[in-house]
């Protein structure tokens, strides 16, 4: 199976590579549109800031390519946010796969932004969560979130309830870092690779 990790200026690539190696999956790191188009599975990791990440995608024409892809595609953390319509982070236009805005967490006394650490996912109904125990815990590090919407396939709560995972057709997205979420994250990767 040809698995591609998209290479761009916001990727948490090393952790994703290690997660795939742990489950014995060969992969290639690429920013080449033709290589990405030929992949059987695509992983779009992310850490960092939305406008800088989008600029990097535009430089290689990946902003035009990604929404047209038909194979199973997984975006994580900033990768999920970039798959949405827009982000309040520097008022950034994103890829628009999911017609939902990314919003900044409100300032609420007693809550730190960004949310950093372990939190649960619940109410999940998605092939990537098959075999998970109820209320599985995963690792988050983010200051922006996707509100609940028609594409929500898993939820979490930090200050408010929001989308932990999204799905539309072949596009799957997780706000948390699957690659550093222990056995739960590994199961999500394994399920993704079985699609």
Q: Which of 49, 77, 149, 161 is catalytic?
A: 77
pLDDT tens-digit map of 101-156: 999 999 999 999 999 999 999 999 999 999 998 879 999 999 999 999 999 999 99
Tell me whether residue 177 is one of the annotated catalytic residues: yes
Average pLDDT value for the chain: 95
Q: Is 112 exposed, middle or buried (0-12, 13-18, 19+ CB in 10 A)?
A: exposed
What is the percentage of the chain residues whose pLDDT exceeds 90?
92
pLDDT at 135: 77
Which among 93, 88, 77, 105 has a CA at the least distance from the CA of 173?
77
Residue 55 has pLDDT above 80, yes or no: yes
Q: CATH classification of 3-194, choosing from 3.40.190.80, 3.30.420.10, 3.90.380.10, 3.40.50.880? A: 3.40.50.880
pLDDT at 9: 80
Tell me whether residue 149 is one of the annotated catalytic residues: no
Q: Which of 28, 94, 177, 190 is catalytic?
A: 177
pLDDT at 10: 74
pTM comes to: 0.96
Q: What residue spans define the domains of the chain?
A: 3-194
d(CA 18, CA 115): 24
pLDDT at 11: 65
Residue with tokens 């008022």: 91
Q: What is the DSSP letter of 42?
A: E
Helix orientation angle between 182-194 and 13-22, rounded to the nearest 10 degrees: 80
First-last CA distance in the chain: 11
Tell me whether residue 142 is one of the annotated catalytic residues: no
């Amino acid at each position: 199976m040809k698995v591609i990790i998209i290479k761009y200026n916001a990727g948490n690539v090393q952790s994703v590579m290690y997660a795939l190696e742990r489950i014995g999956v060969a992969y290639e790191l690429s920013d080449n549109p033709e290589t990405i188009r030929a992949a059987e599975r695509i992983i779009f990791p992310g850490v960092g800031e939305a406008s800088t990440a989008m600029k990097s995608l535009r430089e290689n024409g990946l902003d035009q390519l990604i929404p047209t892809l038909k194979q199973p595609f997984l975006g994580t953390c900033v990768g999920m946010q970039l798959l949405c319509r827009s982000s309040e982070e520097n008022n950034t236009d994103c890829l628009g796969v999911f017609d939902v805005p990314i919003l900044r967490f409100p300032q609420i006394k007693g809550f730190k932004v960004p949310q950093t650490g372990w939190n649960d996912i619940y109410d999940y109904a998605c092939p990537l969560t098959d075999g998970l125990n109820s209320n599985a815990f995963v690792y988050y590090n983010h200051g922006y979130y996707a509100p609940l919407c028609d594409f929500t396939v898993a939820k979490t709560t930090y200050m408010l309830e929001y989308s932990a995972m999204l799905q539309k057709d072949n596009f799957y997205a997780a706000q948390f870092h699957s690659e550093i979420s222990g056995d739960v994250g590994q199961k999500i990767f394994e399920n993704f690779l079985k699609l």
